[in-house]
């Protein structure tokens, strides 16, 4: 009897954790249909590019991947999904060799859209396959709980390409996390486009959801992706301080340290409010790490404004900085501001902040020499094990490979730049 050909697909993901989660979901759905997941270079039948457009660099990378998929492939279907597809659909449709352009609103239906396009039958229920399958057994798993943003920061394209606010029902989230924990996942990372808006449209909020998740048996720890300053509620602080289940790490975007720029960005806090809140969190949550995003070269940013950003990041004592050069996004208010900053100034400011951020990361790590950290052991590197502490520092230690995928207590012996080296003292 003739065997039916197994379809082979490759997927490449750009951008945020929500996009990564959605790619994992697409992957497990296609695998659930009997398709084979292969590398981009392995001549797949279908290429999927799950794109990003948050900056011009992200759009450029998305275009490069599309071209790479098309080049040298005859007959393969090239699917472009995600935020770049929503932002620049017409431009992408013009590229010869692109077969399908799928916006965020249709992402769930990708298996169905592909099979319809290829004129083949959809085996099983491709759209409804369990999203957990692909993540089972992973040490750390992403769990998407929220979509959309209605803040409309003046530089940001995201609210336009991600659509309406959506919160996943808490029962649904708890069920997924239970299944992941039972399958051996130690850490879950709650993700959303604007995570702190979780709860809009349903009868709970992020604190309420976390209060349920910390009770899930067999789960090591819960990490939050990005959250805004004013959304770290008293309940969240309390859980982080006392539950023992929350990773003591918060990623809180500052964006700028200048009040004038924050206002023009449509960010609803001042630099002093940010500093005061950060102090409060550092006092209430032992060993908390606070990392952040900063944009340099927003329209109208003077040397004095930039100096404020440098001052504020020093004062807060961030554990890590993600530095972005302002990128003009068509359709956003800031794109029309006439005091755009030249690239050379953005480059210089970005370099200065990246260097400062490196020093902060090393200083933060240094505080833990002689102390004990809880580390999720992820992999072996040479003769050592490597993992990430609950407050998000890279930690190395010698120990048996059997403990990969588990939480271990490590006594820190020395600092290695922004990372740490320690001795395994106890494993759960």
Residues that bind ligand SF4 (CB under 6 A): 149, 151-153, 156, 158-159, 193-194
Cβ neighbours for 259, distance < 8 A, ≥ 6 positions apart: 270, 271, 308
Question: What DSSP string runs through 165-191?
Answer: -EE--HHHHHHHHHHHHHTT--EEEEE
Structure tokens at 124: 């099983």
d(CA 357, CA 340): 25
Comparison of 48 and 161: residue with beta carbon closer to ligand 5AD? 161
Question: What DSSP string runs through 360-380?
Answer: HHHHHHHTTTTSEEEEEEEEE
Q: Which does 194 bind (CB under 5 to 8 A by kind): ligand SF4, ligand 5AD, none?
A: ligand SF4
Does the protein bind ligand 5AD through residue 156 (CB under 6 A)?
yes
Residues 199-258 that bind ligand 5AD (CB under 6 A): 253, 255
Q: Which does 159 bind (CB under 5 to 8 A by kind): ligand 5AD, ligand SF4, none?
A: ligand SF4
d(CA 374, CA 97): 49
Number of residues that bind ligand 5AD (CB under 6 A): 12
CB 384 within 8 A of CB 374: no
| Least Å from the CB of residue 60 to ligand 5AD | 13
| Least Å from the CB of residue 298 to ligand 5AD | 8
Comparison of 253 and 405: residue with beta carbon closer to ligand 5AD? 253
| Least Å from the CB of residue 356 to ligand 5AD | 16
Q: How many other CB atoms are there within 10 angstroms of residue 367's CB atom?
A: 16
Comparison of 144 and 329: residue with beta carbon closer to ligand 5AD? 329
Structure tokens at 387: 């993992």
Q: Which does 392 bind (CB under 5 to 8 A by kind): ligand 5AD, ligand SF4, none?
A: none
| Least Å from the CB of residue 54 to ligand SF4 | 8
Residues 293-352 that bind ligand 5AD (CB under 6 A): 293, 295, 324, 326-327, 329
Residues 348-377 that bind ligand 5AD (CB under 6 A): none
Q: Which does 293 bind (CB under 5 to 8 A by kind): ligand 5AD, ligand SF4, none?
A: ligand 5AD
Angle 155-156-161 from CA coordinates, rounded to 5°: 150
CB 219 within 8 A of CB 245: yes
Comparison of 162 and 249: residue with beta carbon closer to ligand SF4? 162
d(CA 255, CA 293): 6
- Which of 386, 392, 390 is closest to 374 using CA atoms? 390
Residues 7-36 that bind ligand 5AD (CB under 6 A): none
Does the protein bind ligand 5AD through residue 149 (CB under 6 A)?
no
Residue 172 phi, psi dihedral angles, 5° rounding: -65, -45
Q: Which does 151 bind (CB under 5 to 8 A by kind): ligand SF4, ligand 5AD, none?
A: ligand SF4
- Report helix angle 271-284 to 234-242, nearest 10: 30
Structure tokens at 391: 């407050």
Does the protein bind ligand 5AD through residue 54 (CB under 6 A)?
yes
- Provide the binding-site residues for ligand 5AD, judged by CB under 6 A: 54-55, 155-156, 253, 255, 293, 295, 324, 326-327, 329
């Amino acid at each position: 009897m003739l065997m039916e050909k197994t379809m082979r697909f490759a997927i490449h993901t750009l951008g945020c954790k929500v996009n990564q989660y959605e790619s994992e979901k697409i992957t497990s759905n296609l695998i659930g249909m009997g398709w084979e997941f292969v590398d981009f270079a392995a001549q797949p039948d279908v290429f999927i590019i799950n794109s990003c457009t948050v900056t011009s660099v992200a759009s450029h990378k998305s275009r490069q991947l599309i071209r790479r998929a098309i080049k040298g492939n005859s007959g393969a279907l090239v699917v472009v999904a995600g935020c770049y597809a929503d932002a620049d659909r017409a431009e992408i449709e013009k590229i010869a060799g692109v077969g399908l352009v799928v916006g965020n609103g249709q992402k769930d239906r990708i298996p169905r859209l592909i099979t319809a396009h290829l004129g083949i039958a959809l085996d099983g229920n491709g759209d409804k396959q369990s999203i957990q399958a692909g993540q089972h057994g992973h040490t750390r798993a992403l769990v998407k709980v929220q979509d959309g943003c209605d803040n409309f920061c003046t530089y940001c394209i995201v609210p336009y390409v991600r659509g309406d606010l959506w919160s996943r029902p808490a029962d649904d989230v708890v069920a997924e996390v239970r299944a992941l924990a039972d399958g051996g996942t130690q850490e879950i990372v709650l993700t959303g486009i604007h995570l702190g808006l979780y709860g809009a449209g349903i009868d709970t909020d992020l604190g309420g959801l976390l209060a349920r998740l910390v009770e899930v048996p067999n789960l090591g720890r819960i990490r939050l992706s990005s959250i805004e300053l004013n959304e770290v509620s008293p309940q969240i602080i309390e859980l982080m301080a006392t539950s023992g289940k929350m990773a003591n790490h918060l990623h809180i975007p500052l964006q700028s340290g200048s009040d004038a720029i924050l206002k023009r960005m449509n960010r609803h806090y001042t630099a002093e409010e940010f500093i005061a809140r950060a102090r409060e969190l550092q006092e209430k949550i032992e060993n908390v790490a606070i990392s952040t995003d900063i944009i340099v070269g927003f329209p109208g940013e003077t040397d004095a404004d930039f100096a404020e950003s440098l001052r504020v990041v020093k004062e807060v004592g961030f554990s890590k900085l993600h530095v972005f050069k302002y990128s003009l996004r068509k359709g956003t208010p800031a794109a029309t501001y006439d005091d755009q900053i030249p690239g050379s100034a953005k480059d210089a400011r970005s370099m200065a902040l990246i260097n400062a951020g490196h020093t902060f990361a090393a200083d933060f790590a240094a505080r833990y020499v002689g102390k004990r950290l809880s580390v999720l052991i992820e992999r072996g590197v040479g003769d050592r094990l490597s993992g990430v502490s609950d407050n998000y520092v890279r930690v190395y230690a010698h120990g048996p490979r059997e403990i990969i995928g588990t939480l271990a207590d490590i006594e820190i012996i020395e600092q290695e730049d922004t990372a740490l080296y320690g001795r395994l003292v106890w494993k759960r």
